[in-house]
Amino acid sequence: MLNDMEISGQIKQLNQPHEGERKEWKNETRKMGEKMEALELNLRNEIEKKHELEELEMMRKELGDIGGAGHFFGNDKRIKYGGERDAMGEEELKKVLRLLAYWWDHNLEVAEAGWTIQFKTALKRNGGDGKYHYLWISNKEFKATAQEISDVTGEEANRRELQSKKDGTRQRIKYEMVAYKDVVRFNITFL
């Protein structure tokens, strides 16, 4: 016959392997939960990107072959009075602001109506120094969200919030290329 001490010892021996299994199971459950959360977040991000791309494509179709959002010197009557357009609301202004998102991979300079914008690429194959992208805009201080993008896969990298600095008569942003993607995108906000 077993005494109380022997019974207690046998119970402890039986519980020890199960305790380890419980800890291992809890750890695996936690890891699986973390993986599920990461996958759900990734899926939400992919869905959001798809919606943004669909919206941009719709805006491109609305703008037509010429594109751009320039001045209008047409019939400014309201549509209900025989005009061609109505006043802009918040959604229409958001479209205009989204059109101020540029991406480039080659040098360019454009001057129009007293404004100039110049971009110098970092890409050596297109005349850059291999390290920095530069963006100059005249007349106005600005900030930009800059990001490198693969024009083949759409993969984004090196997102930075940058503030322009005075450079002669213009404002300049200097953006360091670190991921070596094909193009850089600037989402510009005038201050």
Predicted confidence at residue 158, as pLDDT, reads 92
Give the CATH number of domain 100-190.
2.60.40
Q: What are the residues facing 189 on neighbouring strands?
A: 143
List C-alpha distances in Å: 20 to 17, 23, 31, 86, 133: 5, 5, 17, 71, 56
Distance separating alpha carbons of residues 30 and 35, to the nearest angstrom: 9
Residues contacting residue 128 through CB under 8 Å, at least 6 positions apart: 107, 120, 121, 122
- To the question of pTM greater than 0.95 for the whole model, the response is no
Predicted confidence at residue 66, as pLDDT, reads 46
Predicted confidence at residue 172, as pLDDT, reads 95
Predicted confidence at residue 187, as pLDDT, reads 83
- What are the tokens at 91? 């959604």
CB neighbours of residue 16 within 10 Å: 10
Which of the residues in the chain have pLDDT under 70? 1-2, 5, 7-8, 10-18, 56, 59-76, 85-90, 92-105, 112-113
Predicted confidence at residue 159, as pLDDT, reads 93
3-state secondary structure of 135: strand
Domain ranges, ordered by start, for the chain: 1-68, 100-190
Q: Are 128 and 121 in contact (CB under 8 A)?
A: yes
List C-alpha distances in Å: 157 to 25, 39, 151, 153: 37, 19, 12, 12
